[in-house]
């Protein structure tokens, strides 16, 4: 399954919203009815951190300005109001058609 993210780079203004798209080459609805689509954040110089699991569930400690949505093959990560600590690269990943797990190419969020 190929995961395609857009845009590649996302210049943002602090306090403004941001949106990242992730598309899969095949439906991510698994046979159990769940959709195993995840979002990870990688801040500069840090390890990846999971933000969202199964499309829309925020991990513990993740601010509620982050939200995930979508279904089938089209998914979106939204940041309602970008803060300075949100700068980094964001990856989507599918786990519905595994192995292998596959990641999107990443979207770099930077200050405009």
Partner 1 sequence: QVQLVESGGGVVQPGGSLRLSCAASGFTFSDYGMHWVRQAPGKGLEWVAFVRYDGSKTYYGDSVKGRFTISRDNSKNTLYLQMNSLRTEDMALYYCAKHVDLEDWGQGTLVTVSS
Q: What residues line the site for partner 1 (CB under 8 A)?
A: 36, 38, 40, 47-50, 53, 59, 89, 91, 93, 95, 98-106
Residue closer to partner 1 (CB basis): 14 or 110: 110
**Is the separation of the CB atoms in 109 and 6 below 8 Å?**
no
Residue closer to partner 1 (CB basis): 80 or 106: 106
**Is the separation of the CB atoms in 87 and 109 below 8 Å?**
yes
Please choose, from the candidates 26, 45, 44, the residue with its C-alpha nearest in 3D space to the C-alpha of residue 36: 26
Please choose, from the candidates 33, 73, 35, 25, the residue with its C-alpha nearest in 3D space to the C-alpha of residue 56: 35
How many whole angstroms separate alpha carbon 83 and alpha carbon 94?
A: 27
CB of 106 to partner 1, least distance (A): 5
CB of 13 to partner 1, least distance (A): 26
Residue closer to partner 1 (CB basis): 48 or 81: 48
CB of 98 to partner 1, least distance (A): 8
């Amino acid at each position: 399954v190929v995961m395609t993210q857009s845009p590649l780079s996302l210049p943002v203004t602090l306090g403004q919203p941001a949106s990242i798209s992730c598309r899969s080459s095949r439906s991510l609805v698994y046979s159990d009815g769940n959709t195993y689509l995840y979002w990870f954040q990688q801040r500069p110089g840090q390890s990846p951190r999971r933000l969202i699991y199964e499309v829309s569930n925020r991990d513990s400690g993740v601010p509620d300005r982050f939200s995930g949505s979508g279904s089938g093959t089209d998914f979106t990560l939204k940041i309602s109001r970008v803060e300075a600590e949100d700068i980094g690269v964001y990856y989507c990943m599918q786990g519905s058609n595994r192995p292998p797990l596959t990641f999107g190419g990443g979207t770099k969020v930077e200050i405009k």
